[in-house]
Structure 1
Amino acid sequence: MPKKKRDSPSPSKKRSIANILTSLAALEDQDASERRQADAASLHDLSLLQSNHQSRLHATLDYFDRVDDHFEDAEQSETLRTKRSRLAASAAATVVADGAASAAQPQHHQRRLWVKDRSTAWWDRCNHPDFPEAEFRRAFRMSRATFDMICDELGSAVAKEDTMLRAAIPVRQRVAVCIWRLATGEPLRLVSKRFGLGISTCHKLVLEVCSAIKTVLMPKFLQWPDEQSCSSMKSRFEEISRIPNVVGSMYTTHIPIIAPKISVAAYYNRRHTERNQKTSYSITVQGVVDPDGVFTDVCIGWPGSMPDDQVLEKSALYQRALSGMLRNVWVVGSSGYPLMDWVLVPYTHQNLTWTQHAFNEKIGEVQKVAKEAFARLKGRWTCLQKRTEVKLQDLPVVLGACCVLHNICEIRKEEMEPELKFELVDDEMVPENSLRSVTSMQARDNIAHNLLHYGLAGTNFF
């Protein structure tokens, strides 16, 4: 079968096809143009990002370079300052050494450490030669001559050398701090203000000077008498009481303390607590004095709960008696002590005879010497009247120094101001075993008999 011949497109269709193709080509060109523009914009943005990154990187690197330069300069500057300080210190040392070598009189180095500015006006005024003697005695409980003697004795023991950084505190000021503190009992903060020194410095000075007093002055001014001195004491005590062979008067007092952290019950003082209606703690001071009230033996530091007879048994005096050094002599004590071969005490039982009354009266005159000595001790050194800031382990040294200073004042006849008089109150307890020797009982009876029947006793007991 023959095929049909296809018809050719009409002119209008050709034009439509041409227009479509033209539109497609235009659309492709427009799309290509837009892609080219987008690509160009992306390249521009990328360039901006890279440029910003580079600028920030350069800025960061520049900052770290400046910081590194700053610290390097600081290290160099600190090194330079250190070198300059060392050079300055070396130069100052050379200048001071040259000045000390060439000066006609010794001079103190200037202080080079920073210290708090404190006034020493009060002490400078007291230390001046024109300071009134009466005021000096009232302040330090002794004359200027006695104070100077103590400073001379302690000079080598308490003196310190100047250093490159500061001048040492003079010996006179060191001794004055200690004596003022013992005399007034003022708190360390007030002592610090008076002397222009730190509180810890004042505390250290007090302990150092007290230790020096115990080491240097106690062997000279507080010792048991030798045979010649004992003979003199016997005569003088016999003049007072008509009792022969007495070499000392003994007494025990209590020093108030702050409640210790250990062994509190041992230091509890029941008698003082009951009398004062206030809990009291104390340590004991047992002392033997000569007819002038000068201590010849002391026993310091036993707890306040111990009665007098137990304190006596713990003392070096008791050991001296056991070794036979107190044969044929008497140490007179109060009713708180037991009667022994060397300890003479009053009669304590009831319904005493006239002979026993006479004996008690005379032995009381001897006992009065010791009691008045302790009253002057506490009156002169006020720190003994109240609880102190000194630690318990350091207190025996301080109390020993007070006893030595008391002896120095008594030996040099230093008068006490009337307002310093102290009323001594110590409750005496009769020991459970108050009679420890039959021979001593007979000896006491013989002494009492002689006092009355040979007209040696007074009549005040009637």
Structure 2
Amino acid sequence: MSAVRALALALLHIIFIYIQRSIDACNSYWMRVVRRRRMLRKSLALRCIPPPLWRTRRTAMNRARFLAVAGIRVPRRYWIYPRSRDWWDNFVTAIWDDQLWIENFRMTRETFNELVHSIGHRLSRQRTRLRNPISVEMRVAIALWYLANCSTYRQCMNQFGVGISTVAGIVLEVCLAIELELLSRVVCLGPDVARIMSGFQKLGFPHCIGAVDGTHVAICKFKGRGREYINRKKFNSILIQGTVDHTGRFIDAEVGWSGRNHDAFVFVNSAICTAMDAGVFVPGNPSLTIEGVTVPPLIISDAAYPMRRWLMKPFNRPHTPAEAYFDRCLTRARTIVERCFGRLKGRWRCLRSQLMVAEENVTCIATACVVLHNICELKGHGIPEDDSPVRPVEVDEESLELPVGDRRHREEGKLVRDALARHMFRNREI
């Protein structure tokens, strides 16, 4: 009897434990149901709160996390938010004439179509069953509108009827395509060097192929790297060093150096300086012999740049009439690069104000503006009257202690400058 009794007690104990665990499981399930109902009531109550509470990005993210934890699936209201593209489809492409195209996109419809044809293969997207892609023409127009009208991504979104993230991606894609496809073809010296030298000869400076200078483009403060881009004007910027011909067209451009750097430092470390030192930038490297001194093709600059045998800068403190005459001729010819920067910023107004883009995208946008400037100059497109050229932001000229290796360049440059000054003074028009 004792064994049977022990077995019965064991069975009863097992049954009791099973019933107790079943009750605990039921209680747990019921508590989860009650908790979910409470959270559902809270979420429904939160939906009744006026919209301004949910406008900030952080609040919207917190709300999304809350609904995800609560297990509440909120269905999408729209797959694509409905926006109107009537302005682009029915007005710009159908009604606008060339004058309106130049005022808003800085180029005529014909030039716009040529640009689309040049970079279209990098911008075309595949059609899917879900949606049709944005056309290449509209992508290029969005980028040009942003660059020319100093607009924000949000303004472009409302203008063209696309999403704000779509605008940001399109602007960068188009600028990158312009840089990859057109930079080497448009920003170059070209084979007609004699025409450029003749143009500078008419401006008063002989045997010259270009004028070099730099300008600042304001940028936003990058997180953790703000002090690296602060220039002498006490704002964050990058430098555009441009070398232009007698018509104001860029033949070389160095973009992306920090505004903290001096113009001379950027120039010495640029590709054009290396090429001119090697004598390979100008095809054939034609030279003149003046008073026994060999004069290579010349580039003119202001006093902030270092002396080279091919880089002419003013005397600043002329002691003879020949030196004073040389300074006047050089200054008159060098103004072409200042006017070029003025037209660049007057045409592409995004360079006037602060570029609110990421650090890795600043150089791409500025380079695209330089390429598009050359295209507009070659086509003869002017600048609208309300976008008159502005004076570029320049740094103050500072005296530099040149390294020992630059003393040879300085002495060679002085020999060329003195011989050229005497030659120009003797052959001046009286």
TM-score category by the smaller chain?
0.7 to 0.9
1:207-249 deviation line (CA, Å, top 9, x unaligned)? 00011101112222112334xx2222112211211x3221111
2:258 maps to what in 1? 303
Report whether the alignment pairs 1:244 with 2:206. Answer: yes
One-letter amino acid of the structure 2 residue matched with residue 204 of structure 1: G
Q: CA separation in 2, counterparts of 1:331 and 1:370?
A: 11
1:253-298 deviation line (CA, Å, top 9, x unaligned)? 000011122443221112x23xxxxxx1110000111111111111
Percentage of identical aligned residues:
29
Q: Report the CA distance between 1:322 and its aligned residue.
A: 3.3
Of 104, 125, 130, 1:139 maps to: 104
One-letter amino acid of the structure 2 residue matched with residue 264 of structure 1: G
Question: TM-score normalised to the size of structure 1?
Answer: 0.69
Matches within 5 A, 1:160-309: 160-226=125-191, 229-241=192-204, 243-270=205-232, 272-273=233-234, 280-309=235-264
On the 8 A contact 2:343/2:390 being kept in 1, the answer is no
Q: CA separation in 1, counterparts of 2:231 and 2:428?
A: 43
Q: Cα–Cα, structure 1 residues 125 and 431, in superposed 2: closer, same or farther, change >3 Å? A: farther
Q: Report the CA distance between 1:352 and its aligned residue.
A: 4.1
Segments of structure 2 that go 5 or more residues without pairing to the other structure are: 1-77, 286-295
SS at the partner of 1:437? helix
Q: CA separation in 1, counterparts of 2:79 and 2:218?
A: 39
Q: CA separation in 2, counterparts of 1:394 and 1:450?
A: 47
Q: Cα–Cα, structure 1 residues 144 and 282, in superposed 2: closer, same or farther, change >3 Å? A: same
SS at the partner of 1:225? coil
2:384 maps to what in 1? 417
SS at the partner of 2:360? coil
Report whether the alignment pairs 1:378 with 2:345. Answer: yes
Q: Report the CA distance between 1:121 and its aligned residue.
A: 2.1
On the 8 A contact 2:241/2:253 being kept in 1, the answer is yes
On the 8 A contact 1:338/1:433 being kept in 2, the answer is no
> More displaced, 149-158 or 185-194?
149-158
Report whether the alignment pairs 1:388 with 2:355. Answer: yes
On the 8 A contact 1:238/1:246 being kept in 2, the answer is yes
Report whether the alignment pairs 1:324 with 2:287. Answer: no
Q: Report the CA distance between 1:433 and its aligned residue.
A: 4.2
Q: CA separation in 1, counterparts of 2:265 and 2:90?
A: 48
Report whether the alignment pairs 1:455 with 2:428. Answer: yes
1:324-380 deviation line (CA, Å, top 9, x unaligned)? 32561111111111111111111123x643222211111112211111111100000
Q: Cα–Cα, structure 1 residues 250 and 126, in superposed 2: closer, same or farther, change >3 Å? A: farther
Report whether the alignment pairs 1:357 with 2:324. Answer: yes
SS at the partner of 1:163? coil
1:57-111 deviation line (CA, Å, top 9, x unaligned)? xxxxxxxxxxxxxxxxxxxxxxxxxxxxxxxxxxxxxxxxxxxxxxxxxxxxxxx
1:408 maps to what in 2? 375
Q: Report the CA distance between 1:311 and its aligned residue.
A: 0.7
Matches within 5 A, 1:45-124: 114-124=79-89
On the 8 A contact 1:133/1:144 being kept in 2, the answer is yes
1:333 maps to what in 2? 301
Q: Cα–Cα, structure 1 residues 397 and 126, in superposed 2: closer, same or farther, change >3 Å? A: farther
On the 8 A contact 1:126/1:136 being kept in 2, the answer is no
One-letter amino acid of the structure 1 residue matched with residue 90 of structure 2: R
SS at the partner of 2:183? helix
1:366 maps to what in 2? 333
Q: Report the CA distance between 1:313 and its aligned residue.
A: 1.5
Q: Cα–Cα, structure 1 residues 415 and 422, in superposed 2: closer, same or farther, change >3 Å? A: closer
1:112-167 deviation line (CA, Å, top 9, x unaligned)? x8110111122223433322332222111111111111111122111112111110
Q: Cα–Cα, structure 1 residues 199 and 230, in superposed 2: closer, same or farther, change >3 Å? A: same
On the 8 A contact 1:181/1:191 being kept in 2, the answer is yes
One-letter amino acid of the structure 1 residue matched with residue 196 of structure 2: M
* Alignment size in residue pairs: 337
SS at the partner of 1:164? coil
Q: Cα–Cα, structure 1 residues 262 and 323, in superposed 2: closer, same or farther, change >3 Å? A: farther
Q: CA separation in 2, counterparts of 1:431 and 1:340?
A: 16
Q: Cα–Cα, structure 1 residues 244 and 192, in superposed 2: closer, same or farther, change >3 Å? A: same
Q: CA separation in 2, counterparts of 1:314 and 1:129?
A: 49
2:410 maps to what in 1? 437
Question: TM-score normalised to the size of structure 2?
Answer: 0.74
Q: Report the CA distance between 1:186 and its aligned residue.
A: 0.6
Q: CA separation in 1, counterparts of 2:114 and 2:358?
A: 29
Q: CA separation in 2, counterparts of 1:431 and 1:266?
A: 22
Of 259, 270, 280, 1:315 maps to: 270
Q: Report the CA distance between 1:437 and its aligned residue.
A: 2.1
Q: CA separation in 2, counterparts of 1:238 and 1:431?
A: 30
Whichever of the two has the greater Rg, that structure is 1
Q: Cα–Cα, structure 1 residues 357 and 239, in superposed 2: closer, same or farther, change >3 Å? A: same
Q: CA separation in 1, counterparts of 2:103 and 2:251?
A: 26
